[in-house]
Chains A and B, each alone.
Chain A
Amino acid sequence: MAEAPYNEMIASSGVERGHYRRYAEWLANQPASQLAQKRAEADALFHRVGITFAVYGQEEGTERLIPFDIVPRVLPADEWTRLETGLKQRVRALNAFIHDIYHDQAILKSGIIPAEQVLCNPQYRPEMQGVEVPGGIYAHIAGIDIVRDDTGEFRVLEDNLRVPSGVSYMLENRKMMMRLFPELFSSHRIAPVDHYPDVLLENLRSVAPTGVADPMVAVLTPGANNSAYFEHAFLAQQMGVELVEGQDLFVRDESVFMRTTQGPQRVDVIYRRIDDDFLDPLAFRPDSMLGVPGLLTAYRAGRITIANAIGTGVADDKSIYPFVPEMIRFYLGQAPIIANVHTWQLRRPEDLDYVLANLPDLVVKEVHGAGGYGMLIGPAASKEEIAAFRRQIIATPERYIAQPTLALSTCPTFAESGLAPRHIDLRPFVLSGRAD
Chain B
Amino acid sequence: MLSRTADHLYWMSRYIERAECLARLVDAHYRMSLLPHSTEALESSLRSTMVALRVDRAYREKREKITPRLVLDFLTVDREFSGSILNCLRAARENARAVRGSLTSELWETLNATWLDARAMTARRSSATDTGQFVEWVKERSHLTRGVTIGTMMRDESFHFTRIGTFLERGDNTARLLTAHQEDLMPGADAEAVPDPFEWSVLLRSLSAFEVYRKLYRSVITPFNVAEMLILRDDMPRSLLRCTKEVYSNLQSVANHQSTETERRAGEIHARLHFGRMEDLTSRGVPAFLEEFLNRLADLGDRIATDFLVPVGA
Whether B257 contacts A263 by the Cβ 8 Å rule is yes
Q: How far is the CA of A224 from the CA of B4 in the complex (A)?
A: 13
Complex CA distance for A261 and B3, rounded to whole angstroms = 5
Using known A-B contacts A49-B105, A50-B112, A224-B94, determine if residue A261 contacts B157 with beta carbons closer than 8 Å. Answer: yes
Find B4's partner among A49, A50, A247 (CB 8 Å cutoff): A247
**Chain B facing A: main interface SS:** helix
CB pair B3–A236 under 8 Å, yes or no, is: no
A261 interface neighbour in B6, B102, B112, Cβ under 8 Å:
B6
Partner of A263, one of B101, B105, B256: B256
Asked if A262 and B101 sit within 8 Å, CB to CB, the answer is no
Could you tell me how many residues of chain A have their Cβ less than 8 Å away from some Cβ of chain B?
Answer: 23
Contact indicator per residue, chain A 247-276, by CB within 8 Å of chain B (1) or not (0): 110000000001111110000000000000
Q: Does B58 contact A (CB under 8 A)?
A: no
Bound state CA distance, A248 and B3, in angstroms?
Answer: 8
Complex CA distance for A244 and B98, rounded to whole angstroms: 10
Interface size, B (range): 20 to 34
A205 to B62, CA, bound (A): 56
Contacts of B102 in A (CB 8 A): 237, 243
Chain B residues, CB < 8 A from A260: 1-3
B254 within 8 A of A: yes
Q: Tell me if A280 is interfacial: C-beta within 8 Å of chain B.
A: no
Whole-angstrom CA separation of A262 from B259 in the bound complex: 10
Do the beta carbons of B2 and A49 come within 8 Å of each other? no
B56 at interface by CB-CB < 8 Å: no
Contact present for A48 and B6 (CB under 8 Å) = no
Q: Are B94 and A261 in contact (CB under 8 A)?
A: no
List B residues 218-234 near A (Cβ within 8 Å): none
Q: CB distance B4 to A262 under 8 Å?
A: no
A237 vs B1: C-alpha distance when bound (angstroms): 13
In chain A, what residue has the closest Cβ to B257?
A: A263
A47 and B109 alpha carbons, distance in the complex (Å): 9
Q: Mask for B101-119, Cβ within 8 A of A = 1, else 0?
A: 1100100110011001000
Closest beta carbon of chain A to B164's beta carbon, Å = 11
Q: Contact partner of A259 among B2, B98, B100, B157, CB < 8 A?
A: B2
Within 8 A of A (CB), among B171-226: none
A216-248 residues at the B interface, CB under 8 angstroms: 223-224, 233-234, 236-237, 242-245, 247-248
Q: Is B1 touching A261 in the complex (CB atoms < 8 A)?
A: yes
Query: B97 within 8 Å of A by Cβ?
Result: yes
List the A side residues contacting B3 at CB < 8 Å: 248, 259-261
Q: Considering only CB atoms, which chain B residue lies closest to A259 in the complex? A: B3
8 more A-B contacts (CB under 8 A) besides A242-B2, A260-B1, A261-B157? Answer: A48-B109, A233-B100, A233-B101, A248-B4, A258-B2, A261-B254, A261-B308, A262-B256
What 9 A-B pairs are tightest by C-beta distance, nearest first?
A: A237-B101, A233-B101, A261-B308, A224-B98, A259-B3, A236-B101, A50-B112, A261-B6, A233-B100
Q: List the interface of chain B (C-beta within 8 A of A).
A: 1-6, 90, 94, 97-102, 105, 108-109, 112-113, 116, 157, 161, 254, 256-257, 308-309
Can you list 12 A-B pairs, Cβ within 8 angstroms, ordered by A?
Answer: A48-B112, A48-B113, A50-B112, A223-B98, A224-B98, A237-B100, A243-B99, A244-B2, A245-B4, A259-B2, A260-B3, A261-B2
